[in-house]
């Protein structure tokens, strides 16, 4: 699998060191407020597991399953919520976790939807944020790493559902992306 990468951006040790820092920041910020984490599946699964185990606070966890990609590397712009009912978040302090902030479509739609359920506050935490002009304005409050506008896989991130179990994050070789020349 690792042979399919053009280059590795962050190895596992680097990712985990950064998670120690973000977890410390989150733990400090939520010391006096009860935290409810909403993780966006599937991309944030591995990030979520490693991050939450570094936050020594009582917290609640819920997951939302959404899709926007349909196997390609560009967002279709349309977001599908796979479950009908939202978690009960009225009056709670919400931290949304996602793998990557790219066009912003996913996080702005999720945020808007959660806002209708009357939470006390909402913040956003992403492992990766692409440096680019976003199609929707969303600010992440906690960001693991800023990356160039390249397609990356590993550590939960997929291409056509593959590579999520790579322990590192890397740029996928261009010739492996269908439709690229």
Q: Give the footprint of Mg ion on residues 151-170 (CB under 5 A).
A: 158
Tokens representing residue 81 in the block? 């919520």
Q: How far is the CB of 90 from ligand IMP (least distance, A)?
A: 25
Q: Give all strands of the β-sheet with 5-10 in edge-to-edge order.
A: 5-10, 169-172, 152-153
SS3 17: helix
55 binds, among ligand IMP, Mg ion, none (CB under 5 to 8 A by kind): none
Closer to ligand IMP by Cβ: residue 38 or 107 = 107
Q: How far is the CB of 68 from Mg ion (least distance, A)?
A: 8
Give the interface segment with ligand IMP, choosing from 1-9, 81-89, 97-105, 115-123 (CB under 6 A): 97-105
Out of 46, 89, 152, 169, point to the residue binding ligand IMP (CB under 6 A): 152
Out of 35, 89, 105, 127, point to the residue binding ligand IMP (CB under 6 A): 105
Check binding of 50 to ligand IMP (CB under 6 A). Answer: no
φ/ψ (deg, to 5) at 100: -150, 140
Q: At what angle do helices 12-29 and 45-52 cross, to 10 degrees?
A: 60
- Could you tell me the end-to-end alpha-carbon distance of the chain, in angstroms, rounded to an integer? 21
Which residue numbers are catalytic? 102
* Buried b or exposed e, range 159-171, using 16+ CB within 10 angstroms: beeebbebebbbb
Binding region for ligand IMP (CB under 6 A): 43, 68-69, 75, 98-107, 151-153, 157
């Amino acid at each position: 699998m690792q042979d399919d990468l053009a280059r590795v951006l962050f190895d596992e040790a680097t990712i985990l060191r950064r998670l120690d820092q973000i977890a410390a920041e989150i733990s400090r910020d939520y010391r006096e407020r009860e935290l409810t984490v909403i993780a966006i599946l599937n991309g944030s699964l591995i990030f979520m597991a490693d991050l939450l185990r570094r936050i020594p606070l009582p917290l609640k966890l819920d997951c939302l399953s959404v899709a926007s990609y349909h196997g390609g590397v560009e967002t279709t712009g349309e977001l599908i919520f796979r479950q009908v009912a939202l978690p009960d978040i009225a009056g709670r302090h919400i931290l949304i976790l996602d793998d990557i902030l790219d066009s912003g479509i996913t996080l702005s739609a999720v945020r808007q939807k959660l806002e209708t359920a009357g939470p006390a506050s909402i913040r956003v935490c992403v492992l990766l944020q692409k440096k680019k002009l976003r199609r929707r304005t969303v600010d992440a409050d906690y960001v693991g790493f800023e990356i160039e506008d390249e397609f990356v896989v590993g550590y939960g991130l997929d291409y056509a559902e593959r590579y999520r179990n790579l322990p590192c994050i890397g740029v996928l070789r261009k010739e492996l992306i269908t439709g690229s020349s």
